[in-house]
Amino acid sequence: MTVLVTGGAGGIGSAVCRSFSEKGYDVIVHYRSGKERAEQLCREIKNKYGTNARAVYCDVSAPSSVREMFDEIDRANERVDILINNAGVARQKLFTDITDDEWKNMRGVNLDGTFYCCREALKRYMLPSHSGVILNISSMWGQVGASCEVHYSAAKAGVIGLTKALAKEVGLSGVRVNCIAPGVVMTDMMKGFDEQTLNELREETPLNRLGTPEDIAEAALFLCSDKASFITGQILGVNGGFVI
């Protein structure tokens, strides 16, 4: 089986790719700007796990680019059995300072990209075969909102709404759609936070630690496996109890 991971070369994405490869899945690693990092990850996966892995470029916010990515997958005689919509951007800014372009970019990558990739995977592979799994990566801020991250929170809330509605629509076609809402996870997105802020976030988390990309990857493995065959339309909070 083959899994396509958007944002596959990032912190959470690379952990997801490694975890699925370790379980024997072939992996398509999507990237937009980190070509070298994505290709290095593919080499690592092949050498360590012996499964197939290759990198594909796409700007997920552009429908034409998404179609081209799936065309490339078709030309390679591959299919997408599992789609993990992980590509995302985050930014802290006062609401009144958010520009039109920043709003469009935030929505474009986090929400529009999820929509475009779901549409292609469903039309090309999942609906015709009456099988498949879609897993969307949202955020706990999509559940409860975050001050100074209104555009991010709104886009991630949209991912949650998309997940629930799509699960209802494609369930009879044998396709499951779920969502993970991560808490504070130590990735490159957290590099802008100083140690004091990280300690405060850690103290606000009932489990008294911050998340790791591997925490998200393990949850993803479960939701995409046959062990979760009766689970669809659900939002799984992997946040250490930060949001309950």
Q: How many angstroms separate the CA atoms of 203 and 107, rounded?
A: 31
Beta bridge partners of 136: 85, 179
Which listed residue (31, 116, 125, 152) is catalytic?
152
**Residue closest to 83 by CA, chosen among 53, 41, 126:** 126
Please identify which residue in the block is written with the tokens 């475009």.
116
In this structure, how many other beta carbons lie within 10 angstroms of the beta carbon of residue 9?
A: 24
| Residue 236: CA count within 13 A, CB half-sphere | 21
Q: Half-sphere exposure (CA, 13 Å, Cβ side) for 66?
A: 25
What is the C-alpha to C-alpha distance for residues 232 and 175, in angstroms, rounded to an integer? Answer: 9
* Known active-site residue 152: yes
Closest CA to 86 of 224, 205, 240, 208: 224
Q: Which residues are catalytic?
A: 152
